[in-house]
Amino acid sequence: MTLITHILNVGKNPIVHRVTRGRLWRHAVRINRAVASPLVTTIDGFQIITDDLDSLSLCVYHEYEPLVREKMRSIIRPGDVVVDVGANIGYHTVLMASLGAEVIALEPHPGNFALLGKNLFMNDMPAYVYRVAASDEAGEVDLRISDTNDGGHSIECSPVGSSGRTVCITAIRLDQILPPGPIRLIKMDIEGHEAAAIRGLGDRLEDVEYIIYEHWHDRPSPDPSLYLDGWNIEIIAGDNYLARR
């Protein structure tokens, strides 16, 4: 079964969205969010619409997590299947697609998801995008909202800048949606919920070659390395790690 056939079969579920070159298909309620945020040209030459708070500071630096970006460039090859878990507005998703990978992206927050689709469309980059969160159990969960960082919303714990607001979202296990065959890279940046997402891979973890994940040291969250027995783990920078077989 090809990746496209698999994704389109999964796409019968109304939570799945498919972004292709030149066309945006929406299988759920359209998000008619007016975008008045800045348009930034990144150092890689991509056009990115930021969130209203410019949570990635793209307007200042025109790049985000440069060492993570370089790791992705060194790992991803044309034709690889890669997964962006916590895609946010699509900065890393666009990069992955530009390297010729078959990209699957997950982003549960409605506003971020809208920008993810717009940024893929604007850069003419294909990806398969799901408006869902990754976890170890499928179902409806509360996403705790940060009022000061649109990249800081969290299932795991109350985020910095939270006023207590929540949004009900859909969570899935990654082993429910991954196509058969090898997965070159999974990038996870989901605000402390990375360990749960790894557990949700189940036996499909055996098919994954690389995982780039975030693990906080100043806030409570389970250590993803506890579920990566036998993997080689190295720090990239700050709270970002690379696990490889």
* pTM, entire model: 0.85
Q: Which residue in 170, 145, 139 sits closest to 17, CA to CA?
A: 170
Q: Does residue 195 contact residue 100 with C-beta atoms inside 8 Å?
A: no
Domain ranges of the chain: 3-244
The rounded percent of the chain whose pLDDT value lies above 70 is 83
3-state secondary structure of 129: strand
Taking only the tens place, the pLDDT of each residue in 228-237 is 999 999 999 9
Task: Residue 110: name the closest of 88, 141, 139, 92 by CA.
Answer: 88
By the 10 Å C-beta count (0-12 exposed, 13-18 middle, 19+ buried), 220 is classed as exposed
* Model pLDDT for residues 161-194, shown as the tens digit of each residue: 677 789 999 999 999 999 999 999 999 999 889 9
- Phi, psi dihedrals of residue 89, rounded to the nearest 5°: -90, 0
Helices (H), the chain: 3-10, 58-61, 66-75, 91-98, 110-122, 194-199
Could you report the per-residue pLDDT of 77-117, keeping only the tens digit for each?
999 999 999 999 999 999 999 999 999 999 999 999 999 99
Work out the number of other CB atoms within 10 angstroms of the CB of residue 195: 22
Which one, of 170, 194, 177, 204, lies nearest residue 242 by Cα?
194
105-157 pLDDT, tens digit each: 999 999 999 999 999 999 999 999 999 999 999 999 999 898 888 887 888 77
How far apart CA 24 and CA 147 sit, in angstroms, is 29
pLDDT in tens, 35-53: 457 999 999 999 999 999 9
Using an 8 Å Cβ cutoff, are 98 and 69 in contact?
no
Q: Give me the residue label for tokens 């499928």.
A: 138
Topology of domain 3-244 in CATH is: Rossmann fold (3.40.50)
